[in-house]
Structure 1
């Protein structure tokens, strides 16, 4: 049996620290409150650094929800106190540790005892534990104990040091006497003034600040432990540069960015005050699927619908409502938007969306081991179709591999990379649509230029048509990264200056007309939204039916093929943007259906239809068109109404 030897166990630290410094660390005492997400990682990392004495506190026990991030969370530890599990793990690393446990957590009654003889405090408290955190940091400031707080944020971490004689925790964050929601924002913005993590939050519905719930990653917790341990080493050994508040540091592995922040005055700083004002508007107004008034899906049918509701729909209209008629029976009540939306030619866009919903239901049902069968009530009008859905247990059903991508699929209106699609990618995409459709690719630089110019000319119709203005005014949500039932303005694809000009103009058609006539108002958005994205992509494409769709049932089938194509693109890491308005305007022209009272738009639509046919062929058999390519996911996107709001 191997005998433990401190010097041998931690010899690989030497070189970065001296033998004398290792001995100093051996006799240092560190207090850590909280053994959850980051606290346990702090303890184990500092133990491996060779620190020999700890005070640890936590009143909680391990549960299944801890598994994604917490050191010590495992099946054999479920239900056990976190302080006991982590103490045992630390003692397995260094059996000579002097470790004192506070299983009731840190309280006003044991605060002095918890900090007796402590050289450094490392914060491991839950993000929302403001009462305990304020108490602990106030005690550190009063007793002259150095303190570190490191927060896991996204796939990175932010760290702040509070040193004796320097700016205190309260002076920096300004939390005292504030409402809890204000404390949440002040703590978050104070830790992370640059908010590097915000840009890649793919589903904001999992952020529920009011109920103390938010997404987390194991990478962030481990990065936290590394950053905090490095600061601890420098503080305890009195070596190296140690920057304390108002200086801070944030590293984000996902963004490949490291930033140093400096906020004199902390949250009183003018930059912070501005950021807090913006954050209050953005974060506190975000509606999400798990806010009070909604409910977490409990039954298999509810889980299926909760996932399927992420199906695409034109302008995020979500033209469906669900009636749960029994454990294995759902009635989908559809409706189209042709009465107010010029882009819903004969209801086809809404019918495609319903088809995408049905495919999403089938995919989600497979994840529950169920087979979904669909039957449209034939006497229901095309404008308000009714579709019966029956679920059957089937041992032959296997989970569809596209299931994880249902909520991840989104529209990306930004330019992509121009690298060509690989043969493997094209083969997967072509196979996804089935035998009734083929994919028409426009990949060469010349073809992409032709398609981009088509979109550029098409955009002039969209931006100069009063009927389209009414739609745009109705479907855009301003000052938003996410929207449950509209398109957030920051997902449109415009730069901030042009977006502000657009918002001003959209207040009235008179302003739009003035901008278009006197200030060349369509040029900037047409270049930014259509021409440049049309050039910067891997390809434009069209899904072409073998035979011309004859009615709603054909469009429902087409919608199912479209959804599998889009989900396959998402699974391949590709971005996609629909390019349906040229198809729609050409369809109006070819069918002889009036859609605008503006003569110049009617003339322009006829020219557009000729250009379209020259590139894609007759529009009658084209059920969907778009552009595709590799690129970063969008930072803003439409989300969905919560399931209770979609119940009939």
Structure 2
């Protein structure tokens, strides 16, 4: 079923993909697209974690969200759809959040982690624990443009790179306020590429960061980011060169590509 991959990738690459286990936390927009692309490429094993059910507000961007799947857990719908594509796929789905209590079991035997979650606190649980276990992380952040980041065990994490106020704070002591401050710095970094404030006003972005309004999502941005995430997992699995912790940003309006800037941001006072 994956024979049309061959010629663009080798038989050895295909075998390597089949041998890998990937955890995808957050399977809505970007995470759901990433998962489907990996399944269609021939990934061998997936663990999907997401506590959410499909709602009508998901229809504008999330794969397999429709009138028939309303109210169903996203991970359970994706499991059914993915097994229609590849009945031999090893897939485990967990309709729950990433927590301090379940993170160790979630990461058991995992080769790569994909973070498709919106919440800073849950992301830090996932990514700090993955780094302790020397698991490479693929991520994407809030921006009007598609993006992707790869953090290997020997590269800085974005807590270090951006000098976030959460850095060094035990997970049990993180507060919502501290996490929001960290998100604001993350957004400052991502929005330092191209001209995003021509698309999203600054006041509106701040309202999103501090959860005074819901985060907007547009299908082209979400799907492009999901595909970029899957592409980085593919390159990692096959030993190919990949992007790094600084990230890559794709301006789908002007068709420009920009590598993340080498700069450090100060902690919020």
Which of 95, 99, 105 aligns to 2:91? It is: 99
Secondary structure at the aligned position of 1:131 is classed as helix
Please say which structure displays the higher CA radius of gyration.
1
Which of 126, 136, 141 aligns to 1:136? It is: 126
Secondary structure at the aligned position of 2:9 is classed as coil
Secondary structure at the aligned position of 2:68 is classed as helix
**Within 5 A, what are the aligned runs for 1:115-514?**
115-126=107-118, 129-151=119-141, 153-154=143-144, 156-173=145-162, 174-176=164-166, 179-201=178-200, 208-209=207-208, 210-239=211-240, 241-245=241-245, 247-264=246-263, 266-268=264-266
Corresponding residue for residue 103 of structure 2: 111
Q: Are residues 231 and 200 of structure 1, via their aligned partners in 2, closer, same or farther at CA, if it must alter by over 3 Å? A: same
Q: Are residues 144 and 119 of structure 1, via their aligned partners in 2, closer, same or farther at CA, if it must alter by over 3 Å? A: same
Q: Give, in angstroms, the shift of residue 107 of structure 1.
A: 1.3
What runs of 5+ residues in structure 2 fail to find an aligned partner? Answer: 167-173
Q: Give, in angstroms, the shift of residue 87 of structure 1.
A: 1.2
Q: Are residues 83 and 112 of structure 1, via their aligned partners in 2, closer, same or farther at CA, if it must alter by over 3 Å? A: same
Q: Give, in angstroms, the shift of residue 182 of structure 1.
A: 1.7
**Structure number with higher helix proportion:** 1
Q: State the alpha-carbon separation in 1 of the partners of residues 99 and 215 from structure 2.
A: 25
Q: Are residues 261 and 45 of structure 1, via their aligned partners in 2, closer, same or farther at CA, if it must alter by over 3 Å? A: same
Q: Give, in angstroms, the shift of residue 192 of structure 1.
A: 4.3
What runs of 5+ residues in structure 1 fail to find an aligned partner? Answer: 1-8, 278-648
Secondary structure at the aligned position of 1:250 is classed as strand
1:353-398 Cα offsets, whole Å, 9 max, x none, are xxxxxxxxxxxxxxxxxxxxxxxxxxxxxxxxxxxxxxxxxxxxxx
Provide TM-score, normalisation by structure 1: 0.38
Q: Give, in angstroms, the shift of residue 10 of structure 1.
A: 1.3
Cα pair 1:152 1:221 within 8 Å, conserved:
no
Q: State the alpha-carbon separation in 1 of the partners of residues 125 and 146 from structure 2.
A: 23
Q: Are residues 244 and 20 of structure 1, via their aligned partners in 2, closer, same or farther at CA, if it must alter by over 3 Å? A: same
Cα pair 1:157 1:250 within 8 Å, conserved:
yes
Secondary structure at the aligned position of 1:234 is classed as helix
Q: State the alpha-carbon separation in 2 of the partners of residues 242 and 206 from structure 1.
A: 30
Q: Give, in angstroms, the shift of residue 109 of structure 1.
A: 1.3
Q: Are residues 98 and 175 of structure 1, via their aligned partners in 2, closer, same or farther at CA, if it must alter by over 3 Å? A: farther
Q: State the alpha-carbon separation in 2 of the partners of residues 222 and 152 from structure 1.
A: 13
Q: State the alpha-carbon separation in 2 of the partners of residues 261 and 184 from structure 1.
A: 17
Corresponding residue for residue 48 of structure 1: 40
Which of 76, 81, 91 aligns to 1:84? It is: 76
Query: Is 2:38 aligned against 1:23?
Result: no
Q: State the alpha-carbon separation in 2 of the partners of residues 140 and 191 from structure 1.
A: 23
Q: State the alpha-carbon separation in 2 of the partners of residues 135 and 197 from structure 1.
A: 29
1:449-487 Cα offsets, whole Å, 9 max, x none, are xxxxxxxxxxxxxxxxxxxxxxxxxxxxxxxxxxxxxxx
Cα pair 1:77 1:85 within 8 Å, conserved:
yes
Secondary structure at the aligned position of 1:262 is classed as coil
Larger RCO, structures 1/2 (Cα 8 Å, 6+ apart): 2
Provide TM-score, normalisation by structure 2: 0.88
Aligned residues: 257
Q: Give, in angstroms, the shift of residue 205 of structure 1.
A: 5.5
Cα pair 1:61 1:80 within 8 Å, conserved:
yes
